[in-house]
């Protein structure tokens, strides 16, 4: 009896090992696929095709309201693209789900301080994830052709999502320095690519908030909240 039980344990262990191997291969394959799609649509700032709008994706804002280095570089690259005539409007999309935490006004304030007119800056206050930012760019801001700006490791996933949602998207990486902990960011990104593969390609859920359309060819001051 114990010999039979031992054989069953070995069989179960073997099957679990095969299952884990299949899952690991699938995980790596999806990561490679998503990154590959994004890489094919990544450009330099000079070569990226013109678009309806530049979409700058949010990142951490410090407790005093100043932008992290990562976010400052994203906004700076987005502004350079605007100055070079790559798009007439900009969408800054990030987390403003709480009064005390506000990525989008930090970005807009910086851009206005550089001399950009508020009418050309649209704030997406409910860009709580990359997927939601792109879904809302399409449905709220009525964008069809977009330039996405973020760091390279993140840009590839953003471009994959955008194209799965039907956007004609190109991207420009905003890596201007060493941000630290990039190995950890890359590991997290592998998991995020797998999650967003299923979200964007299969499930396509609605974002946390939708609402009335605010076409990007209008006046960005319609999104002001102060």
Per-domain boundaries in the chain: 9-223
Q: Is the pLDDT of residue 1 over 80?
A: no
Q: pTM for the complete prediction?
A: 0.93
Give the model confidence (pLDDT) of 86-144 as tens digits: 999 999 999 998 888 999 999 999 999 999 999 999 999 999 999 999 999 999 999 99
SS3 sequence of the chain: CHHHHHHHHHHHHHHHHHHHHHHHHHHHHHHHHHHHHHHHCEECCCCCCCCCEEEEECCCECCCCCECHHHHHHHHHHHHHHHCCCCCEEEEECECCECCECHHHHHHHHHHHCCCCHHHEEEECECCCHHHHHHHHHHCCCCCEEEEEECHHHHHHHHHHHHHCCCEEEEEECCCCCCCCHHHHHHHHHHHHHHHHHHHHHHCCCCCCCCCCCCCCCCHHHHCCC
Q: Is the pLDDT of residue 4 over 60?
A: no
Q: Is the pLDDT of residue 38 over 90?
A: yes
Pick from 56, 26, 87, 19: nearest CA to 151? 56
- Widest distance between CA atoms in the chain: 81
Give the model confidence (pLDDT) of 182-192 as tens digits: 889 999 999 99
CATH 3.40.50.720 fits 9-223, yes or no: no
Cα–Cα distance for residue pair 56/72, rounded to 1 Å? 10
Cα–Cα distance for residue pair 206/9, rounded to 1 Å? 44
Whether 55 and 143 have beta carbons less than 8 Å apart is answered as: yes
Q: Mean pLDDT across the chain, nearest whole number? A: 95
Give the model confidence (pLDDT) of 73-102 as tens digits: 999 999 999 999 999 999 999 999 888 899
- The CB-side HSE value for 80 (13 A sphere, CA atoms) comes to 15
């Amino acid at each position: 009896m114990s010999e039979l039980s031992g054989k069953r344990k070995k069989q179960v262990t073997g099957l679990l090992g095969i299952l884990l191997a299949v899952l690991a291969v699938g995980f790596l394959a999806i990561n490679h696929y998503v990154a590959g799609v994004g890489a094919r649509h990544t450009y330099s700032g000079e070569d990226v095709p013109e678009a309806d709008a530049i979409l700058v994706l949010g990142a951490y804002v410090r407790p005093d309201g100043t932008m992290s280095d990562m976010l400052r570089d994203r906004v700076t690259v987005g502004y350079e693209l605007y100055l070079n005539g790559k798009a007439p409007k900009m969408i800054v999309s990030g987390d403003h789900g709480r009064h005390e935490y506000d990525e989008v006004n930090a970005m807009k304030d910086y851009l206005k301080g550089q001399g950009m007119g508020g009418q050309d800056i649209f704030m997406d206050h409910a860009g709580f994830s990359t997927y939601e930012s792109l879904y809302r760019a399409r449905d709220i801001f009525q964008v069809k052709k977009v330039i996405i700006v973020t760091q390279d490791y993140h840009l590839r996933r953003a471009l994959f999502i955008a194209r799965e949602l039907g956007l004609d998207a190109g991207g420009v990486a905003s890596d201007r320095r060493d941000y630290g902990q990039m190995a950890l960011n890359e590991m997290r990104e592998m998991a995020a690519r797998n999650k967003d593969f299923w979200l964007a390609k299969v499930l396509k859920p609605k974002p946390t908030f939708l609402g009335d359309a605010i076409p990007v060819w209008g006046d960005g001051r319609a999104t002001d909240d102060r």
